[in-house]
Amino acid sequence: MPKEIITSSQAPTTGFTPGQAVSPLAQAIRFGNMLFVSGQGSLDPATGAVVAGDIVVQTRRTLDNLMIILEAAGASAKNIVNMRVILRDVADFPRFNETFRDYFAGEKVTRTCFGGVLHRAGIDVEIDCVAIFD
């Protein structure tokens, strides 16, 4: 069974640095009934620049990017079964969590959230996910 590369021009390309080699990373890969979405950050899809703002603004942009990729694969938040979150500053967790909850409106997922140093300056949150199709 071959893997299917999922791409949306409406979301930033993960791991891409303008002026450098093309990233070997896919925005998402579907394999059978599973979808694996690469870690998304608070990048403006049109410019590739980090959005200005606090953890609430960055969380919204990050989740918007993730949802755009899910949509390109024919999925939504209802298909997500697991998420991983990295916060640059764990003190941001309460405000991050409040914003995160708004996106799921009662939908249940499993999630791991931890603090760490993110690879790109200015990004304060990164989120990836695994989704399942029926």
Give the domains, in start order, of the chain with CATH numbers: 27-132 (3.30.1330.40)
d(CA 95, CA 101): 10
What pTM was estimated for this model as a whole?
A: 0.93
CB 132 within 8 A of CB 60: no
Portion of the chain with pLDDT greater than 70, in percent: 95
Tens digits of residue pLDDT in 26-36: 999 999 999 99
Q: Specify the pairing of strand 110-115 against strand 80-87.
A: parallel
- Amino acid identity for residue 83 in this structure: M
User: Within the chain, where are the H helices?
Assistant: 55-72, 93-104
pLDDT, residue 25, reads 87
Q: Which residue in this structure is represented by tokens 């790109």?
A: 120
Tens digits of residue pLDDT in 96-121: 999 999 988 889 999 999 999 988 88
d(CA 41, CA 12): 9
- Tell me which of 15 and 6 has the higher pLDDT: 6
Q: Across all residues in the chain, what is the average pLDDT?
A: 93
